[in-house]
């Protein structure tokens, strides 16, 4: 890792700690604030225990009710640190979502940063071949042939730079994978290995509308 990237990461972490410390409201309502929108931070009950989703969602602001509850739980709650660092500044109050079913072939055309997609396909191959490495999601997909929860795909995002590609000015695509990387990787690996897959798979289609 070069010095420029190390400095960038260190600065981001320092800012993150500073913001989190400054924005601890009364009654523990800790938030990361971007503009006028507060995205709640998941509370750490202990070093090894997080608050429940029920507790978290009780603090979910009305200004962000455009985001479906399932999306809040599966993306923002479960991957809270990553969401706050990468996505929360992209005006989530303007996002829109709709449910859709994708065919296996449509799922295979979903795009993402090439090296990351290769990595998650490799992880999918390991799930297939190494039983001891499987988690709940892998076991579910290998048994049921589809996702336990919808993946998230962004449409109309080609004008936006992907948060992970900011340093290299890498833009997203109009069929951009946002959440569900391991699921897509495993689905691709299952297809390659000719394992049983359902004909349709659940997805959320989102638009940033920034």
Per-residue pLDDT of 92-131, as tens digits, reads 999 999 999 999 999 999 999 889 999 999 999 999 999 9
Take residue 8 and report the two structure tokens written for it.
């960038």
109 shares its domain with 140? yes
Residue 30's beta-bridge partner residues? 24
Whether 135 has a pLDDT exceeding 90, the answer reads yes
Query: In terms of domains, do 19 and 65 share one?
Result: yes
**One domain for residues 22 and 36:** yes
pLDDT at 16: 44
pLDDT in the model for residue 171? 87
Residues 124 and 151 in one domain: yes
Count of other CB atoms within 10 angstroms of residue 74: 20
Residue among 21, 48, 45, 44 nearest 33 (CA): 21
Give the per-residue pLDDT at 149: 98
CB within 8 Å of 39: residues ≥ 6 apart: 31, 32, 33, 64, 76, 83, 84, 88, 92
Q: Structural domain tally of the chain?
A: 2
Residues 111 and 84 grouped into a single domain: no
Note whether residue 41 is domain-resident. Answer: yes
Read off the tokens for 160: 């936006």
- Whether 105 and 167 map to the same domain: the answer is yes
Q: 94, 116, 142: which is the final residue of a domain? A: 94
Residues 90 and 101 in one domain: no
Does residue 81 have a pLDDT over 90?
yes
109 and 187 share a domain?
yes
Domain boundary among 44, 59, 94: 94
Residue 23 resides in a domain: yes
pLDDT at 26: 32
User: Does 126 lie in the same domain as 68?
Assistant: no
Q: Which domain holds residue 147?
A: 97-207
Query: Of 12-21, 75-84, 137-146, which gets the smallest average pLDDT?
Result: 12-21
């Amino acid at each position: 890792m070069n010095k420029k990237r190390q400095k960038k990461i260190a600065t981001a972490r320092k800012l993150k700690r500073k913001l989190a410390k400054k924005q601890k409201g009364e009654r523990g309502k800790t938030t990361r604030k971007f503009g006028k929108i507060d995205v709640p931070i998941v509370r750490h009950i202990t070093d090894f225990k997080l608050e429940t989703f029920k507790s978290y969602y009780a603090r979910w602001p009305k200004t962000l009710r455009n985001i479906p509850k399932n999306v809040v739980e599966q993306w923002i709650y479960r991957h809270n640190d990553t969401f706050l660092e990468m996505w929360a500044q992209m005006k989530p109050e303007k996002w829109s979502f709709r449910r859709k079913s994708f065919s296996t072939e449509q799922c295979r055309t979903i795009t993402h940063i090439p090296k990351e997609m290769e990595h998650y396909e490799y992880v999918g191959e390991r799930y297939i071949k190494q039983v001891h490495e499987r988690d709940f999601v892998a076991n579910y997909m290998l048994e049921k042939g589809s996702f336990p929860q919808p993946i998230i795909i962004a449409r109309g995002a080609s004008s936006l730079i992907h948060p992970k590609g900011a340093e290299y000015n890498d833009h997203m695509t109009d069929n951009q994978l946002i959440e569900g990387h391991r699921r897509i990787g495993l689905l691709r690996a299952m297809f390659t290995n000719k394992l049983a897959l359902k004909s349709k798979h659940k997805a959320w289609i989102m638009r940033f509308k920034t």
